[in-house]
Amino acid sequence: MESSMVETSDGVKIHVRLFKPSDPAADNLAVVLVHPYSVLGGFQGLLRGIATGLAKKGYYAVTFDMRGAGRSSGRASLTGFAEINDVVAVSKWVTETLSPDGIVLVGSSAGAPIAGSAVDKIEQVVGYVSLGYPFGLTASILFGRHHEAILRSEKSKLFVMGTKDGFTSVKQLRNKLKSAAGQVETHLLEGVGHFQMEGPAYDAQMVDLIANFIQSLHK
């Protein structure tokens, strides 16, 4: 694991960690992981288990602290719009540092709308995975303005959610995805809650789902 500092277009210093595979996969894709809501204590360490698992499967995995979290400078925003710059800057750094054939953006919880808004701002992104996208009515007060960007993107998408997610019901998820462009997959975890799915007990399952999604991009 290597650490770096990356500067955004608006001058924020972002702390990045790169998890390198010992035996890189043939498809040479990098995975950039976007952590849960900084305002509620989200930081890149929450995604360490998934990043480590992806590196074991042969993928370069990158985690980072969004502005105002961990060792990054700046201040976290309530709606996550400033943080789109962080995702774009880190993805640009990944492209320049690793020269991957493509990037898959993975967003966890509030990181999902932020990553979704960045997808079409980054040419190298070939796919998007949402782990517990907060589509529900209350969460939409903060993140509703992010929805349109990922729903209209033509890039391949996977939405993973527990059926007991407290922020989004299965019905709300399905209603939202009806209007989504491009290839859209969903994977529901029966009886699993939002924060439960974020926990380390589900890391291995998330790694498998992300890896299977990456492989599906070549079909």
pLDDT mean values, one per 10 residues, the chain (219 residues):
95 98 88 95 95 97 98 95 97 96 97 97 97 91 91 98 96 96 97 95 97 90
Measure the CA–CA gap between 53 and 131, rounded to whole angstroms.
Answer: 16
Q: What is the pTM of this model?
A: 0.96
Residue 133, pLDDT score: 96
Q: What are phi and psi of 155, to 5 degrees?
A: -75, 150
Residue whose structure tokens are 């060792």: 71
The beta-strand segments (E) located in the chain are 2-7, 13-19, 29-34, 60-64, 102-108, 125-131, 156-162, 184-189
Summarised one tens digit per residue, pLDDT across range 95-126 is 999 999 999 999 999 999 999 999 999 999 99
Measure the CA–CA gap between 82 and 37, rounded to whole angstroms.
Answer: 13
Residue 193, pLDDT score: 97
Host domain of residue 134: 2-216
Measure the CA–CA gap between 20 and 54, rounded to whole angstroms.
Answer: 9
User: CATH number for the domain including 151?
Assistant: 3.40.50.1820
* 3-state secondary structure at position 184: strand
Q: 65 with 35: CB under 8 angstroms?
A: yes
Residue 4 pairs in a beta bridge with 16
Contacts of residue 98, defined as CB under 8 A and 6 or more positions apart, other chains included, come to: 30, 60
Residue 219, pLDDT score: 66
Measure the CA–CA gap between 19 and 56, rounded to whole angstroms.
Answer: 9
Residue 190 pairs in a beta bridge with none
Q: What is the Rg, in whole angstroms, of the alpha carbon atoms belonging to the chain?
A: 16
Contacts of residue 120, defined as CB under 8 A and 6 or more positions apart, other chains included, come to: 149, 153, 155
Contacts of residue 160, defined as CB under 8 A and 6 or more positions apart, other chains included, come to: 129, 130, 131, 132, 186, 187, 188, 189, 197, 206, 209
Residue 63, pLDDT score: 98
Residue 22, pLDDT score: 87
Residue 142, pLDDT score: 86
Domain count, the chain: 1
